[in-house]
Amino acid sequence: MTLHREGHKIIIGCTIAFAIINALLFYYFQTPPWLKYSVLVITGVFYFLVLQFFRYPNRTLTYDDKYIVAPCDGKVVVIEKTVESEFYKDERMMVSIFMSPINVHANWYPIGGIIRLAKYHAGKYLVAWHPKSSTENERTTIVIEKDTKRTILCRQIAGALARRIVFYPRQNDIVKQCSELGFIKFGSRMDIYMPADTKILVGLEQKTTGGVTIIGEFR
C-alpha cells in the first residue's frame, strides 16, 4: 500500500497545518489540557482519514481483451440500457458505480485501446446518485476503442463532496487495460457505457474492485 501522487500536496499541507496547530496549543498558548488533547485527537483522526483516502493499493490486476474491468472501487448502483447522447448517440448498456469517501479513488482503464475522446465538462455538484448528475455535474467523458466492436465510454462524475476530477488521457493516446485513468477527490461516481449486447457480469449492490472485478464481456 502506497500513497497516490494526487494526494502528496494535500498530505504535506495537512502535516504542516496540524503540526503548527498542536505546537501552538501545547507550547505557546495557555490552554487547558482537555482542549489540547481533544484537538490532538481530532487532528490525528482527520489526518488518518486523509491518508486513507489517498491510499493506492497493491493488487493483482485483470488483463483480458474479451472482458471489461471495473474502472474503480465502489458499489454498482445502476444497470440499464440507455441512450448515450454525447458521443455514440445510440443505445448502450450502462453500469454505474458509486464511490463513497472511504473507497480507493484511483481510476483504471476498463479496456485497452486508443482514446477517441477525452473531454472535461464543468458543472454542478449534485449528489452522485442524483438522476441528473451524469449530465449536469462536473464530469469527464473518455472513449476507449479497441476495435469497431469493442469500444466503451467512461464518465467520471463529481459528487457533492468531489471538487476535483483528475484524468490523464488525451485524444489519440494508446492506453493499456488497467493502467491509470485518473483520480476523483472525495466521493464520486463512474458510468461505463458498453455495446448494447455486452454480457453483464455484475449485479446491483455488488461491490467492485478497480482493475480487478470483471463487469462485462464483449459478445
Write the DSSP assignment of 158-183 as a string of letters: E-SS--EEEE---TT-EE-TTSEEEE
DSSP 194-218: EETT-EE---TT-EE-TTTSEEEE-
User: pLDDT at position 161, please?
Assistant: 59
> Looking at per-residue confidence, does 160 or 172 come out higher?
172
Domain 67-217 sits in CATH 2.70.70: yes
pLDDT tens sequence across 156-166: 988 665 557 88
pLDDT tens sequence across 108-156: 999 999 999 999 988 766 655 555 556 667 889 999 999 989 999 999 9
Active site residue 38: no
Rg (alpha carbons) of the chain, rounded to whole number: 20
Tell me the pTM. Answer: 0.85
User: pLDDT at position 188, please?
Assistant: 81
Query: Taking the alpha carbons of 21, 26, 31, 36 in that order, is the dihedral positive or negative?
Result: positive
What residues contact 13, with CB distance under 8 A and at least 6 apart?
Answer: none
For the segment 184-188, the average pLDDT, to the nearest whole number, is 74
What are φ and ψ of residue 130, in 5° steps? -65, 135
pLDDT tens sequence across 67-112: 999 999 999 999 999 999 999 999 999 999 998 888 998 999 999 9
Set 96, 133, 134, 188: catalytic member: 188
